[in-house]
Amino acid sequence: MENPLLINNAISFQSCQSRSSFLSLPLLIPALKTPTKARERKLIYTISKFYNISSRIGTRAMHSGEDNGALRNFKLNESTFLASLMPKKEIAADRFVEAHPEYDGRGVLVAIFDSGVDPAADGLKVTSDGKPKILDVIDCTGSGDVDTSTVVKADDSGCIVGTSGNTLVVNSSWKNPSGEWHVGCKLVYELFTSTLTDRLKKERKKRWDEKNQEAIAEAVKQLDEFDKKHTKVDDTNMKKNREDLQSRVDLLRKLADSYDDKGPVIDAVVWHDGEVWRAALDTQSLEDEPERGKLAEFLPLTNYRLERKYGIFSKLDACTCVLNIYNEGNILSIVTDSSPHGTHVAGITSAYHSKEPLLNGVAPGAQLISCKIGDSRLGSMETGTGLVRALIAAVDHKCDLINMSYGEPSLLPDYGRFVDLVNEVVNKHRLIFISSAGNNGPALSTVGAPGGTTSSIIGVGAYVSPAMAAGAHTLVEAPPEGLEYTWSSRGPTVDGDLGVSISAAGGAMAPVPTWTLQHRMFMNGTSMSSPCACGGVALLLSAMKAEHLPVSPYSVREALENTCIPVGGSPEDKLSAGQGLMQVDKAYDYIQKLHAVPSVRYQIKITQSGKSAPTSRGIYLREADFCQRSTEWTVKVEPKFHDDASNLEQLVPFEECIKLHSTGEGLVKAPEYLLLTHNGRDFNIIVDPTTLSDGLHYYEVYALDCKSPWRGPLFRIPITITKPQAVKSRPPLTVFKGMSFVPGHIERKFVEVPTGATWVEVTMKTSGFSTARRFFIDSVQISPLQRPIKWESVATFSSPSSKSFSFAVEGGRTMELAIAQFWSSGVGSHDTTSVDFEIEFHGISINKQEIILDGSEAPVRVDAEALLLLENLAPAAVLNKVRIPYRPVDSKLSTLSAERDQLPSGKQTLALLLTYKFKFEEGAEIKPYIPLLNNRIYDNKFEAQFYMISDTNKRVYAMGDVYPETAKLPKGEYTLQLYLRHDNVQYLEKMKQLVIFIEKKLDEKESIQLSFYTQPDGPVIGNSSFKSSVLIPGAKEAFYVAPPAKDKLPKGVAAGSVLVGAISYGKVSFGVNNEGKNPEKNPVSYSISYIVPPTPIDVDKGKGSSSSCTKSVAEQLEEEIRDAKIRVLSNIKQSTDEGRADWKKLSISLKSEYPKYTPLLAKILEALISQNNFEDKIQHYEEIVGAADEVIESIDTDELAKYLSIKSDPEEEGAEKTKKKMDTTRDQLADALYQKGLALAEIELLKQGNKVVDKEDAKAVEGSSAQPDLFEENFKELQKWVGVKSSQYGTIFVIRERREGRFGTALKVLSDMIQEDGSPPKKKFYDLKISLLEEIGWAHLVSYEKQWMSVRFPPSLPLF
C-alpha cells in the first residue's frame, strides 16, 4: 500500500502576513515585527493584521489534480474574483455543496467563541433554508454587566429616578404587575470598541467645539462691550467685574484644550412583565436631538434566546446591542462585540447572502450561538471567566461545533483548567472543538494554546491559494501553487505533538459589525482558517445528521486528517500544515464508510525507556545530546471511548490488529504488529539520528488497521529531529554564506549554542538586488518549564548593505534561526537576493542567575567567567521598581448563580473576593503583581482571576487579569479587589490570605544605581571600587555588588518591601550605549532585588522634651477627666433620636462645665455639621452659626494675632509646644468662621427660595435696610487669618463671588481649588461647579461635567 507520507516533491516559497498585537486592522499598512509582549497574547498567536498583507509564506502546496486553488497562469474574472474573497474551493466545500445542496450546514449548531457576533451584520440574519441564523448572543465575560439590584417605584406621573440620578419617564404601555423597576447605569464607552469610541469622540468633539466657540464669542463680546463702556476702570468693584468677564473667556479657552470625553451614561431599567424579564435603555445622551433616545421610546427586549431581538444605541454609533437578564432581574448584561473579529469569523463559518452566493460562508445553512470571550474591559483579551461560561453555554445549547480563534503561548502543553473542561465537553458531550494554531511562524514550536497544544482540539493552520493571492490579496503576481502562510504557527509542541492538525484557507472578505459602517472587510490569519475548517466540518455534520450517521469528534477528526491533500513536498512540511489541506468531499466519502467502526481516540503517552517522567505525545529530539546517540522510547497507546460507551457492548469487544509503519526506515524502528484492546498496549521505538545530516528531519510511526487498511493511520507518533550544527571554531563564529532568497523563501538553520554563551551578535549582509527587501529574522530556543524563548526582528534593506543585531541565548541548547524574505518584498523584480549571515557567540557565565540583597550591609559576591573568548566585564545594576507586599483585609466566598456558572458536570462555580487596601502620598505608576497566578491563562489550574483598583469615591482606575498592566494613580487611598473563581472550595480557602505585591515604578531621580567593589568591606570603607575589566577565557574574576545606601532608599518604603531591577555584566559591540544606566537595554540582563530592612531607631527621639510639668497632679487629673468626657461626647452616634437626645444633653452639660474651652466647642460644632437628619434646615444652620460664634468668642483673637505677628525663637524652651497650640487655635478659629460663613450662605439661599439675587438688587436691598451683611462681615474676618482661595477655605470665596454675580471668577477659583486639592476629588466641589455653570448658562459644559460626575463618583463599583 502507498505510504501516505511520501508525496510528490514540490518545494518552493512565497510570502504572506505579519503578526500584530491587535485583532484585525485594515489592509495596506506595513506590519512591523516587535518583541512579543505578555498582553499581546491572543492576537499575535491567532490573528494577523488585515491592513497589511505583506508578510511571509512558507512551503508550497503540491499541485492537485482536483485543482483546489492551486492554479497556474490563471486570470480572474468577476465570479472567480468574488469566490476568492470567501474561499471555499480550497477545501472542496463548493464542490460538496453543489453535489449535496441540502447538506450546507442545515441542522448544525456552531458556537463561536470570540469577540462577539453582531446579529444585525450582513449575511448573519437567516440561514439558507430561512431559519434564524443566530440563536443566542451571550457576553460570557461579564464586561457588559450592569448592577440592576436597586429597585424603585414610579411616582404618580410615571417617573422613576435612575442610579445615574436622571429622572426617567416609563412608557405607560409597559406591563409591570409588581410595579417594581430595577435600575442601573453604565458608561457607554465601556461597551464600545476603541475604534468606535474614537469615531464617536471625534464627532462629539466637533459638536462640542461648535457650542464652545459660540460661548467664547459671547464671552468675548461681553468683555469688549464692558471695555467700550468703561474706558477707565479705577473702582475696585469695576476691576473685579472686568476680571470676572476675562475669567469667563480664559475658562472657555482652557476647557477647549483640556476637553476629555469619557462618554455619556446610559440608564438601564429591568422589570418583569408577568411572563418574562424585560429591559430598556435610556440613550438620550447619545442622540443629537433632545427628544430622541428616551427610555419610553426604547422597544423593550428580553433575553435574546427567547425572542431573538436586538436594538441599537443610536444612529450615531450604529452599534447593535443585545440585552440578557440574569439573577431575578438584578443583573442586566448589555452585549456588544469587543472587535469586528468575531462577526468576521462567524461570517466565514456560515454567512448566507441570497443575492450573492459566491460570498456565502462555508456552511450557509448552519446556525450559530455567539459566546463573547473577548472582554471589552481588556481591549478584547479573553478571560478565564469568559472561556468557562462559553463552554457551559455550548453544552447548554446542545451545540455540535465550537470555533475559537484565540490563543497564546503556553508553559505546559495540553494542561490547565480550560483544557480539562474542554476534554470533558469533547469526550462526554461529543462537541467538536476547532481552533486556530497561531500566527507566530515561521519558526518551529510556535503553535499557541489551546488550538495548537491541546489533544482534544483540532488545530488549524493557514493556507493561501493562488486565487486568494491574486483576488483577496490583490497581488500583481501570485504564487504558481498554493502554500502555507509564512506567519502560520509551526509545530511541533514542546512535548513532540504535531501541533497543527489540518490546514484551511486563511483569509476572507467576510461580514463585520454595523458600527464599522461597512458590510464586509478583509482579514487573514489562522483566525480565518479555523472558521473555514469549522464551516467545512459543519457541512460534514449536516450530511451525517441527514443520513442518520453517528456523530463523534473522534471519527470526524480521523476522516479529516486521513483525507487531506498534503501541502508541500517533504515530510517536514507536516510541521507547517499538519496532515494537509482539508477536503470536505473526501472526508464525507470516508465517513460514509466509517459509520460501522467504533468511535475511538488513541491516547499516546511516551516516556524515555527506563524513566517514568516526563511524558510526551511525540518524540522531539532537539538538543545535540539526543541527536548524537540512539535512544529508546516506551509508547503507551490507550483507546479512549466516549464517556457514555457501554462496557459490555463497546469496551469488552474492542480489539484491533494493528500494523505499525515507520517512515524512517533504519532510523526509526518499531514493532511490526500490535494487538490493541481497550486497556491499551505498550511498545518501544528506537530512534537513531547519528547518521543524519545537520538540520530538520521529520518521521512518523503510524498505525494501520489490518482489517481496514483503507482507513489510513489510526494514530501517528510524530518524531521531529533538529540536528544542530556544532560551533567548533574559536572565537566561536558561525557563518552562513551565499543563501539565496526570493520572495517568501525561508531558511532554517539549527545551531548548538556553545556552553558559556549568553548572547549573540549577528551581522546580516545582503546583495544582488536593486529594489528594497524586507526580511524577518526569528530565533527560538526551548528550555524546560518555559515558554519557547523567542527573539524576532524585521530588517528592511533599501539597497545592498549590512545590519547588526544582538539578542540573548541559552548556552548548551539548540537555537533555530529562521530567516524569511517578506513575501511581497521584491515581487516583480525577479532578482535573487544573496544573504551572508554571521553569528558570533559571546558569554559571561556567572554563579548567580538572580541576586538578592537581604537588607543587611553585606554585599553579594559574584563570580564571572568567560568560557569562549575575551569579554569586557562591565557590570551595571539599577533598582527601578519597588514591590510592596499586601495581605487581604477582607475575604468573601460566595456561590455564583446557576444561570451562567453551573458547569456541565453539575458542579457550581464559587467565587472568592479578596480586598486589599493601599495608599500613596503622591502620584505613582503601579502594577499589581501576583506571583502565583500571573502570566498564565490556559496553562493554569485556576479557572479565572480579575482585579479592579478603585479610589474612595469608587472610581475605577485599572482593571486586569492574568497580565496586569501599568496604571497611573493620583495620590490617595485605593482598594484593590481580586476575584478568583473555581468549583473546588478547598482551593479557594487556601487563597484567602493570598499575598500580592503592588509594583511601583520609581522615577529617574528615585532609581538607584548600585556600586561594585573588589573587597567585601568596600561598601563601608568606600574604597576598592570595581568598574570594568577584561575576562580571559578559563579564568574567573570576582567582585561584590553593594546594597544601596540607606539614605538613597525611596521615601515611604516600608520594611519588607522589595526593590527590584536588573543587572547586566557584558558589553556588546553595538546597539547599547547608555553608559550602564539601564542594564535592561543590554541583550542579557538578570533580576536583582533588595529587601528593605526595618527603619533605624531614632535615638534622639524624646530628647529635649523632658521639661518638667508645671501643673499639679490635681490639675492634670482634672484635664484628663475633661478630655475623657469630650471623647465620650464625640463617640455618641446621632443616627437615632435617642442618640441625638443623649448627645444634646451631654453637650449642654459640658458647655456649662467648660464654657470657654475651645476644643470642646469645636467638637460640638463639628458634630452639628455632620448631622444630616434634620427637618428644619434654617434652624439647623442657625444652630451651626451659634456654635461657631461660641468657638470664636472662646478665642482671644488679640493674643493670637500678637503671637502670629511675632517671629518666635524655635530654640526657646517650650517654643515648639506653644507654636503647636497657637496653630491649632488659629485653625479652630478659621474653621469656625468658615463653617459660619457656609451656614449663613445656606440660610440666605433658603430664605430667598434658592434664587440668587442680582448684585444690583442686593445693593438696593442692603441700602434700604439697616441690617448688616453678616456673610460679608464674617468673610472679611476669615480673610484676616487664612488664605480664602486655598482648597481648604476657597468654597467661601466662591460663594462670595457667586453672591456678587461674578460667576467667572468663582469658577476660576473653584477650578484652582480642585487642581490644588489633589485626589480623591471632593464631590461638593464638582456639585458647586455644575451649579455655577448652570447659572452662567453654559449648557454644553453642564452636560460635560455631569458626564464626568459618573466617572468620578459612580453610584457603585462595577460587577466582576
What are the residue numbers of the active site?
114, 341, 527
Find the helix or strand (DSSP H, E) in which 818 lies: strand 814-821
Residue 1241 grid coordinates: 450662605
CA–CA dist 130, 111 (Å, integer): 19
Beta strands in 520-630 (DSSP E): 520-524, 601-608, 619-621
1192: closest CA among 1156, 1167, 1159, 1229?
A: 1229
Do the beta carbons of residue 468 and residue 502 sit within 8 Å?
no
Find the helix or strand (DSSP H, E) in which 94 lies: helix 93-99
Residue that has been written with the C-alpha cell 517654643 in this structure: 1215
Give strand pairing partners of 549: none
CA–CA dist 293, 282 (Å, integer): 6
Residue that has been written with the C-alpha cell 477659583 in this structure: 1309
CA angle in degrees (0–180, nearest 5) for 1075-1081-1083: 115
CA distances from 632 to 130, 477, 695 (A): 59, 49, 21
Residue that has been written with the C-alpha cell 458634630 in this structure: 1167
DSSP string, 757-772: --EEEEEEEEES-SS-
CA distances from 1016 to 844, 1019, 1049 (A): 22, 7, 21
Residue type, 990: K
Which positions ≥6 away from 779 have C-beta within 8 Å? 443, 790, 791, 792, 807, 809, 815, 816, 817, 818
CA 1297, 1299, 1301, 1306 dihedral sign is: positive
State the burial class of residue 897 (Cβ atoms within 10 Å of its Cβ: 0-12, 13-18, 19+): middle
Pairing between β-strand 956-960 and β-strand 996-1001 as defined by DSSP bridges? unpaired
CA distances from 234 to 223, 1305, 1333 (A): 17, 19, 29
310: three-class secondary structure by DSSP: coil
Name the CA dihedral angle for 557, 561, 563, 567, rounded to a multiple of 10 degrees. Answer: 150
CA 646, 651, 652, 653 dihedral sign is: positive
Residue 772 phi/psi, 5° resolution? -60, 150
Do the beta carbons of residue 63 and residue 70 sit within 8 Å?
yes
1233: closest CA among 1178, 1195, 1266?
A: 1195
Do the beta carbons of residue 775 and residue 821 sit within 8 Å?
yes
Do the beta carbons of residue 488 and residue 466 sit within 8 Å?
no
DSSP class of residue 623 equals: S
Which positions ≥6 away from 316 have C-beta within 8 Å? 200, 203, 286, 287, 288
930: closest CA among 980, 856, 974?
A: 980
502: closest CA among 469, 530, 542?
A: 530
Residue that has been written with the C-alpha cell 478583509 in this structure: 522
Secondary structure, 3-state, 522-545: EEECHHHHHHHHHHHHHHHHHHHH
Residue 87 grid coordinates: 474561499
